[in-house]
Chains A and B, each alone.
Chain A
Amino acid sequence: MALANRLVGNTPDACATEITYGNAEMRFETDTAVALAGAEVEADLSGRPAPMHRTLNAKRGEVLKLARPSQGVRTYVAVAGGIAGEPTFGSQSTFLPAGFGGHEGRALRAGDVLELPAARKGEILETPVPLRPHMSASHVLRCVPGPDGDMLTGAAWNEPSETSARLDRTGIELTGPWPQLQDAAQRPSEALFPGAVQLTPSGRAFLLLPDSQTTGGYPHVLQVIRADRHLLGQIGAGNRVRVLRRTPEEAAADLRAKSALFADWLPGFRF
C-alpha cells in the first residue's frame, strides 16, 4: 500500500483500497492519478494497459479493470490525495471482524461510491525494481521463537508447512510438522500481535494477520519478525511456508537493513 501511495504523491499511510483476489472494476468520476502495487494483476484503464508500479493518469469516466492475480493475494489501488473519510480510533482502515472503520465498516461491493479529493494529475513515477515485492507461492519468513517456542520440535524449523484454504485478514491456517497439543496446553490469555503463530487443538497452527484478536490462550510458538510481516498478506491457499530462525538482535538488524533499503524511496515509512 505504501508503494502504491508513493506513486501518486501520497504519504505511505494514506487511505487506499485493498483488493483481495482481483476481479474488480472501478470507474473514476474525476480526473485522478492512480497506481497499483501488491499482488500482480493484469489490468487495463478503459482498454489501455495499466501496468503495476507505475503512475497512471485516469480521466473522468474511465474504468480500471483488474483480473485475478497470477501471484499474490491482495492488490492495492491508491489514488492521488487518498480516499476521503472519517478515521475511527485514529485510522481509516476497515476492521471487518467488528464491522467498523472504512466504508460503513464492511468490504466494498458493487455500486459503492468513494469520495476522492479534487481532480489532480500525477507526475509519472515507477517503483524502483529492487523495491518491488516478489510475488510467489512459496514464502520464507524469518521468525524468532515465541514464549512457548520450546514446544516445537526441530521439524517445525526445518520442514516447510503448507497453508490450507482457511485464510482471511485475521489469520492463515498452516498444516505441517506441528506437535499435537494436550488438553492442558490452554494458557491464560496473553497479548498477541500480527505475525504470531499459535498451535491449535486441531494439530494445525494459525498465523495471525492484521485483523487478529489482541489476546489469546493457545500456545504462541513462533513470531514472524517485524521486517517480514509485510509479506503475510500475500500468502495464499496451498502455498508453502518455510521459517528461518532469528534471535531478536538479528531480527533488529534485518529490520534496520530493510528500512534502510526503502528509506530514500519512502521517507518516514515504518515497517
Chain B
Amino acid sequence: MVGQILYALPFLAQGFALTLWVSLLVVVLSLIAGVTLGVGLVYGPAPLRWAVRIFSDTIRGIPILVLMFFVYYGLPAIGLHLPSFWAAVLALTLFKTAQVIEYLRGAVASIPKGQSEAAMAIGLTFRQRLTYVIFPQAFRRFLPPWINGVTDAVKGSALVSLLGITDLMQAINQVIGRTYEAMPLYILGALIYFAVNYALSLASRRLERRFSFIRE
C-alpha cells in the first residue's frame, strides 16, 4: 500500500501544483477585479454602482458549481468556447470577485467620513486619498475576511476536478481508481489542503498583528 502511494506521489504532486496554480490565478485576478469594481461600487457614478451591485448580488446568489457548469457548458451556446481550465478559472474568479467587492465595500465604509474630508482639505486628489489615507486604514478590516476567502478559494478549487481537470482532488481520485486505497489517499489529500490553509491563516494572523497599531 505504502509502495503504491509512493509510486503515485509525482502524479499527486502535479495535481497539487495545478491546485496551487488555479488558486493563485483566482486569488490574484479576483483581487484586482474585486478592488476595482469595489471602488466603483463605493465611489462611482450611479449607473456603475447599479451595475456592480447587480453583478455582485447575482453572482453571490448562484452556487459556484452552477456557475462553473454555466461557463463551461452554457457559454458555447453563444459561441464562446473556453478550454476547461480557463472556464474553471473564470467561474471561480467571478465568484471570488463578488466576495472581494463586498469585503472592500465593508472595509471602506468603516472609515469615518472625516478621514476623506481631512485628506481633501490638505489638497490630496481622489487617487492620493485612497492610496495614502483610506486604503491603509481599510486594509486591516479587509484582511481577515479576505484571507478566509483565499482559503475558501484553495478548497473551492477542488471543484475544477468536475470539469475533468487533473488538480489534486482529481489526481487523488484517479490514484484511488487504480489502487482502491481510498482512506489513506483521502487522508493524505485532506492533510495537504489543511497544510496550505493552515499556513495561510498563520500568515494572516502575523499580518493582522503587524497592522494592529491602527486603533479605532
Bind each other: no
Please list the residues of chain B having a beta carbon within 8 angstroms of any beta carbon in chain A: none
